Amino acid sequence: MELLIRNLSKTYSNGVKALQDVSLTIQPGMFGLLGPNGAGKSTLMRTLATLQEPDSGEVFLGQINLLTQKDEIRRTLGYLPQEFGVYPRVSAEMLLDHLAVLKGITDKGERKTLVEALLNRTNLWQHRKKNLGGYSGGMRQRFGIAQALIASPKLIIVDEPTAGLDPAERNRFHNLLSELGENAVVILSTHIVDDVKELCTDMAIINGGKILMNGHPLQAIDQLKGRVWRKRVPKDELEAYKQNFNVISDKMVAGQPLIHVLSESQPDATFDAVEPELENVYFSHILGIKTHA
């Protein structure tokens, strides 16, 4: 069951064009939506989660019209927003049971079995009696996934799920997300390039409400082979390099800027060739630098 997005546009009352003619075809599995803050990711996620209306366009999950059949889509939707609230004095077990009732699971035995399975799947079983107010950030995110999975959804949306997590929790969360992609369309909206590189078989880059790139991460990286070069430069010369070369990234290494440059050939003898990364693909598109040879 694929997700079909066609010509989706949204302009807010302040004139911000959050989505501009967005079209995507998303197959079952993990799909990465990559973009900086304010790129339009959350607007697209809220639209797909039936929380706001676009100005124009259409969205289908299989045969279900997401914009006109909201009740139907909500029955098969799991959503983990970037920020979500919990009742701090309620245990995970109790809240999951309550949410299952709201999802229409009225049989007490069925709910008990489901809640136990979700708590085990998200590695929260031993913390099931603990009030949610005492959960760590990673535990809260895992609870967020548990509630998103209540109705065995075919469309799962997770918005910036690993921001703020420590490396161990981030790895646990990655493993969990990978499992989910086996049976559903899972959209991972993030500004963290590594999340997409490690998890997704398909991706898109969005900025200014426009889709700048859509394809397979490894294929996008292959297009930059032999065209990425690096060099450490003095701080006071960084701006000059940015004016004279296609600098796609710069970061401080041991107190000195290390730049990556996109060029069809070695810019000069002082540059070293480097294997491209998805980060190079990302910054190339965000900066508007041509990536095709």
Residues 6+ apart with CB under 8 A from 122: 142, 143, 145, 146, 176
Token pair 């590189």 is found at: 197
CATH architecture of 3-85+146-214: 3-Layer(aba) Sandwich (3.40)
3-state secondary structure of 184: coil
- Phi, psi at 236, each rounded to 5°: -75, -5
116 sits in which H/E element: helix 108-121
pLDDT of 46? 92
The domain limits of the chain are 3-85+146-214, 87-134, 226-274
42 sits in which H/E element: helix 41-48
CA 242 to chain centre: 29
Residue 290: band (very low, low, confident or very high) from pLDDT cuts 50, 70, 90? low
For residue 292, pLDDT beyond 60 = no
Return the bridge partners of 59, or none: 5
pLDDT tens digits for 79-129? Answer: 888 777 778 899 999 999 999 998 888 899 999 999 999 999 888 999 999
285 and 291 Cβ atoms separated by less than 8 Å: yes
The upper half-sphere exposure of residue 220, i.e. CA atoms within 13 Å in the direction of its Cβ, equals 24
pLDDT tens digits for 210-232? Answer: 999 999 999 999 999 999 999 99
pLDDT of 272? 95
Q: What six digits make up the tokens of 36?
A: 């900086």
Q: What six digits make up the tokens of 233?
A: 């430069």
93 and 115 Cβ atoms separated by less than 8 Å: yes
pLDDT of 175? 82
pLDDT tens digits for 126-147? Answer: 999 999 999 988 888 888 888 8
Report the pLDDT averaged over residues 233-247. Answer: 93
Residues 6+ apart with CB under 8 A from 125: 116, 119
3-state secondary structure of 22: strand
As a whole number of Å, the end-to-end CA separation of the chain is 35
3-state secondary structure of 215: strand
User: pTM of this prediction?
Assistant: 0.86
pLDDT tens digits for 162-183? Answer: 777 778 877 877 888 888 777 8
